[in-house]
Amino acid sequence: MDIAAAASVFTDPRAYADDARFHAAAALLRRESPVHLVEHEKFHPFYAITKHEDVMSISRASDIWLNAPARRSAPSRRTRIGRTSRSAPWSRWTTRTTRSTAT
C-alpha cells in the first residue's frame, strides 16, 4: 500500500468496515506522513492527523490552529433527501401527523 492508497481510507466508506485495512493505512501514514493532506474530488481537502500527540497538541493550541468555523468533510455536491424533500411520503405523513396532533 502506498501513501495515496493509505490516505484514501478517509474518503472511502468501505474502509471503515475493514479494520485491518484501516489500521494498516493509519500505521503507514503515522510512519511516513503523520500530517497528510487528503485530496479527493468529492470532498474539500483536509488534513489527516494520525498521531495522538499531534492531535492533542493541535487541540490545545487554538490560538495557532483554526478550530472554527468548522468545515464539514462531506461531498461537495449535496443532494436534498430525507426530511428536506417535500415530495417524500414520510414528509407528508409527518406534516399531517404534526398538524393533527397540534390542534
Within 13 Å and on the Cβ side, how many CA atoms surround 102?
A: 6
Question: Tens of pLDDT along 43-52?
Answer: 888 889 999 9
Of how many residues is the chain composed? 103
| Separation CA 7–CA 102 (nearest Å) | 50
Q: Which long-range contacts (CB under 8 A, 24 or more apart) does 32-36 make?
A: 32/3, 32/6, 33/3, 33/7, 36/3, 36/7
Query: What pLDDT is stored for residue 43 in this prediction?
Result: 84
Query: What pLDDT is stored for residue 34 in this prediction?
Result: 94
Run of H or E residues at 40: strand 35-40
Question: Tens of pLDDT along 65-94?
Answer: 776 666 665 555 544 444 454 554 444 444
The answer to whether residue 97 scores a pLDDT higher than 50 is no
Question: Tens of pLDDT along 6-25?
Answer: 999 999 999 989 999 999 99
